[in-house]
Structure 1
Amino acid sequence: MSTDLFQDQLDSERRRRAQEEGEEQIRAHMRDVDYTIREYPIEVLVPKYLIGAEDGTNEIFVPDYQRSFVWSVKQQSRFIESVMIGLPVPYLFVADVGSEDEELSGRLEIVDGTQRIRTLAAYLTNELQLEKLTKLDALNGTKLDDLLPSRRRRFLRTTIRLIELTEKADEEMRRDMFDRINSGGEPLNPMEVRRGVLKGTFLSFVSELANDPKLREIAPLSPSSIKRRDYDELVVRFFAYTEAYDDFKRSVIDFVDEYIASKASFDLTRDGPSMRYEWRNMLRFVADNFQHGFRKSSTNTRIPRVRFEAIAVGTALALRERPDLNVSPAEVADWAYGNEFTKLVTSDGANSRPRITARIEFVRDHLLRE
């Protein structure tokens, strides 16, 4: 038998095995995905979301891994306009969630569609005033109660379709679906995706620190950034860099993801106190000694992440070496708001390993030499 013929037979056998194994995997996973399609009028759907929301007993609920309500009024208005004129809108993806508590079992967790159902709720409760509509511009500035009674009734009867995963879909499957739905385009930032895909005590701990009033005071962010969990991102980057900035390679997202994965065994009682202390000690020091906190000046309203990282991590490293560190705010101002430091946190390649090392160690070394 020639070498070419033998190779062809070998390749054919490999393809056959791959096809058979692939078919087995497809069949196995198809058995795991069991769903039904439901259709509710808006006047039925929205109360299922609103009634009991305050005490966590609402029939349709938003899980903690979902993003906050981030749609602008313009985006909300455009969605209502689409529903109003009968344009197709995406299905809501929900999952039947079992519980040992019979009062909670059978509730529907929203896997995808939180912005849409929140928008419908805002409109039905007359909190949403439409704006910047193009097709229905006569409705700009109006709320639901401003419609003719007949149009209001027709709107409330409009149905929204849901794809409902049955109770066979466990939490891992729901989070996997969340990840797949939100992996295309630009729907979520990295921290929002992490909260959807990952879970555990460490990310809950991060969220706790992200709500620190001192952080909000010296590192102000826009309301939209706050909703997109940018404070959580600052916290997790702080710990990732303080523990291993010299291990950074090329991708910040990969670096942070790997760090979070390393915290799978994080124990709040064992690990939390020391990390919480270092975080709060750093914030206190920055507030006391950096005239503008993490801002470049008193007029700046945005905090570049690279500037935050440099000051926060550099300060923490300096305090590790000298816990009783005492500096002069006036001397700190000489370099913290000077051209050399500004260049380090704004130059091209700001997230290259040399740049990260340079800006962190710049802050550390300048604090220690005072």
Structure 2
Amino acid sequence: MPKAPNVPIETEITAERRDEAEAEIRDKQKPIDYDTKEYPVEILVQKYTDGLADDTNELFIPDYQREMAWDDARQSKFIESVLLGLPIPYVFVADIPDEENEARLEIIDGTQRIRTLARFLNNELKLEDLEKLKKLNDFRFSDLPLPRQRRFKRTTLRMIQLTEKATEDIRRDMFERINTGSVVLNEMEKRRGIQRGPFLEFIDQLSENTKFRGSKDPEILGLCSFSDALVDRREPQEFVLRFFAYLNNYKNFKRQVNEFLNEYLETNNNGDFDREAMQAEFEAMLDFVEKYFPNGFRKGKKHTTTPRIRFEAIAVGTALALREKSDLAPGSMAWLDSPEFKEHTTSDASNSKPKVKNRIEYVRDQLLGRL
């Protein structure tokens, strides 16, 4: 006879469980002091742009938040929404206490909207792909009739402003809850909002290494290939974090990459890490890869992207080999084109403990002449 299907058993919600749930809600609720305000677009942009060049603007975007992510079409659609009078989501900011008592406002959520408004008022944005206001395509702000310009500047946006009584934990928690699950923010961008600290700043510094990532000068190629979009999405920082996390802890990797990286970052963010030694090891690894790997971390000269697991295998395997033999001079590098290496560094070989261990140690052992 066929087996009866497994039917989940519903757990009874008793009056006692309701009381316990209510008690938990009351216990976990955090008092959050905030004000609700409305500002005209003109004032919001002024608060953002005045002092922007020297980082003294009242309304500021912290460095842990991402660069401009909206393309011109999406920015244009937002401006169209403002012109049509459609509801605009609240901008969330926090009054940040500091030693100079400047009472600056840190934007927690709304950076793309503020940047877009500033670009439009400064005539840096030309509207495109509008679907409702099609006759405004190709318009800049200065092309609007003067009355419409004035009305646009007077349009108000609502703001939730956390007072200076809101702790940093509360601000980080709010950033996480607003952005976690978003299709826009990736994991590295979330970490910059939730797990700020000295180790994350150290990763930022190393990610700027031109040998690692290249530069805007097309003549200066890095060992990795990152598009401008990937740089804006903090992909170089993701690579550097993965390098140190696997190098120093790969044997404790289980299966969840993001959990593994978050735990490593949190452990080191207390500032108890050897900055000079880690930077030296990172740079020694880059020097070695530049000297002995014909295409750096890429699959080939014409490849414009660098797979994460290929970078991890080469970078971490190289660093482990150098720990054993600092003056290492490997023999043939033909194994880079071998079926074994390809199998180790394909996407379906990524996230199990044995495969992580095998691909890293394969590179290490090839460099040391063990295979």
Please indicate, yes or no, whether the TM-score normalized by the shorter chain is above 0.5.
Answer: yes
Q: Flag the structure with higher helix content.
A: 1
What is residue 174 of structure 2 aligned with on the other side? 177
2:338 & 2:311 partners in 1: Cα distance?
15
**Secondary structure of 1:348 counterpart:** helix
What is residue 130 of structure 1 aligned with on the other side? 127
**Is 1:339 the equivalent of 2:339?**
yes
What is residue 254 of structure 1 aligned with on the other side? 259
Say if 2:94 and 2:108, in contact at 8 Å, map to a contact too: yes
- Aligned pair partner of 1:166 in 163, 168, 178: 163
1:38 & 1:15 partners in 2: Cα distance?
36
2:143 & 2:343 partners in 1: Cα distance?
54
Say if 1:126 and 1:144, in contact at 8 Å, map to a contact too: yes
**Is 1:157 the equivalent of 2:162?**
no
What is residue 320 of structure 1 aligned with on the other side? 323
Q: Which runs of 5+ in 1 are unaligned?
A: 1-10
> Please, which moves more after superposition, 126-135 or 220-229?
126-135
Give the residue type in structure 2 aligned to 1:65: Y
Say if 1:311 and 1:363, in contact at 8 Å, map to a contact too: yes
2:251 & 2:138 partners in 1: Cα distance?
54
Q: Deviations over 1:118-137 (max 9, x none)?
A: 11111111111222222223
What is residue 266 of structure 1 aligned with on the other side? 271
Give the residue type in structure 2 aligned to 1:59: E
1:17 & 1:129 partners in 2: Cα distance?
56
2:89 & 2:165 partners in 1: Cα distance?
23
**Structural mapping, 1:274-289, within 5 Å:** 274-289=277-292
**Is 1:368 the equivalent of 2:365?**
no
Going from structure 1 to structure 2, the CA distance change for 1:146 and 1:337 (only over 3 Å counts) comes to: farther
**Secondary structure of 1:40 counterpart:** strand
Going from structure 1 to structure 2, the CA distance change for 1:252 and 1:21 (only over 3 Å counts) comes to: closer
2:295 & 2:52 partners in 1: Cα distance?
40
What is residue 119 of structure 1 aligned with on the other side? 116
Aligned pairs, number? 349
What is residue 352 of structure 1 aligned with on the other side? 352
1:236 & 1:24 partners in 2: Cα distance?
36
1:83 & 1:307 partners in 2: Cα distance?
45
Give the residue type in structure 2 aligned to 1:91: Y
> Please, which moves more after superposition, 38-47 or 130-139?
130-139
After superposition, the CA RMSD in angstroms is: 1.8
1:21 & 1:285 partners in 2: Cα distance?
55
Shift of 1:259: 1.0
2:125 & 2:87 partners in 1: Cα distance?
21
**Secondary structure of 2:303 counterpart:** coil
What is residue 229 of structure 2 aligned with on the other side? 224
TM-score, L = length of structure 1: 0.89
Q: Deviations over 1:315-341 (max 9, x none)?
A: 10111111000135xx22x22234331
1:347 & 1:175 partners in 2: Cα distance?
33
Say if 2:94 and 2:161, in contact at 8 Å, map to a contact too: yes
**Structural mapping, 1:28-177, within 5 Å:** 29=30, 32-102=31-101, 104=102, 106-177=103-174
Give the residue type in structure 2 aligned to 1:46: V
Say if 1:60 and 1:109, in contact at 8 Å, map to a contact too: yes
Give the residue type in structure 1 aligned to 2:239: L
Shift of 1:347: 4.8
